[in-house]
Amino acid sequence: MAAASEWKAAVSYDPLTGTGHILRGGDLVRFKKDYPVFSLGSGRPLRSAAVRDSGGRLQMPLDTERAIARWFAERDAERASRFSVAAIIIDPGHGGKDSGAIGEFGSGKDRLRVLEKDVSLAIGKDLYARLQAAWPDKRILITRSGDTYPSLDARVDMANDVQLGLNEAIIYVSVHANASFNKSASGFEVWYLNPEYRRTVVDDKKAEGVDKSVLPILNAMLEEEYTTESVFLAKSILGGLKAKIGDASVDRGLRAEEWFVVRNAKMPSVLVEVGFVTNEAEARKLSDPGHLRKLGDGIYNGIIDFVEYFEHRKGL
């Protein structure tokens, strides 16, 4: 692996799992010992002779070294044209027949009824308008703009149907409100995909010419990439919310789960829970347009931070 130092790349290898990566700038090559397929960048497969582990010394066949060097050269050329987040999908949770969580309190003039679908729509539409104004060049999409119920499949399909160029990425932000039997639970949190969860992210088109048996391993590699981006996106949004909301609500932090909407989106994706409709004090805030604007503002700032980070670092 003298090649790595020639490339000024860092090699990391875990002898326990036999997996490792070569990182050069933002360009990542993942490999598995004795496995003749490499994952380049966001999961482009490279079929070439495998890396061998001969008593703790990693050896890469010359042909493979050349192929990887060629890819690094390609990446350098691509870098001339800047990476960008070309599309952002905002997904207001629930809608129509599906109210989502419901909070009901008080009586008479103090009576309050808050539906999650209304909270998510108000924030989603606000976000959508702001993002469109900020980035007329990007494709900003919203899964619903009224009190309708697109199925979860339809939402994810909408995201996955967006055509992207070589250096373009798409991000997916789902907005929800929370509920708990514990009436004192309150606060906002941001979820990202649980790295433990296996999903199919390499589609057949992308994997043309690749042995079907290698798809699971490519998927696992690529999935890690999406997760990394999702964690950054989730952290940025949480930071944006914290800055805007301050003490008005509790920061419950980052969470990882297997949400359907997040799981099936082949892109960095997060789910924001903006507060609990089952907590009376918070439900009152969630029915206050001023508070909803602040939440939208916080998520918006988080997205801006992420996009800036992403577009100056590397593409998908």
| Binding region for Zn ion (CB under 5 A) | 93, 100, 176
Q: In what order do the strands lie in the sheet with 84-92?
A: 139-142, 84-92, 168-178, 269-276, 188-193, 251-257
Handedness of CA 105, 109, 110, 113 (dihedral sign): positive
Q: Least distance to Zn ion from the beta carbon of 239, Å?
A: 22
Q: Which residue has the tokens 């199925």?
A: 151
Looking at the Cβ atoms of 84 and 264, the one nearer to Zn ion is 264
Q: Least distance to Zn ion from the beta carbon of 164, Å?
A: 27
Nearest in space to 282 (alpha carbons), one of 295, 268, 264, 269: 295
Give the SS3 label for residue 313.
helix
Looking at the Cβ atoms of 50 and 254, the one nearer to Zn ion is 254
End-to-end CA distance of the chain: 26
Q: Least distance to Zn ion from the beta carbon of 226, Å?
A: 22
Looking at the Cβ atoms of 39 and 249, the one nearer to Zn ion is 249
Q: Which residue's CB atom is positioned nearest to Zn ion?
A: 176
Q: Least distance to Zn ion from the beta carbon of 116, Å?
A: 5
Looking at the Cβ atoms of 176 and 314, the one nearer to Zn ion is 176
Nearest in space to 141 (alpha carbons), one of 99, 91, 189: 91
Q: Least distance to Zn ion from the beta carbon of 93, Å?
A: 4
Q: Which residue has the tokens 């799992």?
A: 17
Looking at the Cβ atoms of 144 and 176, the one nearer to Zn ion is 176
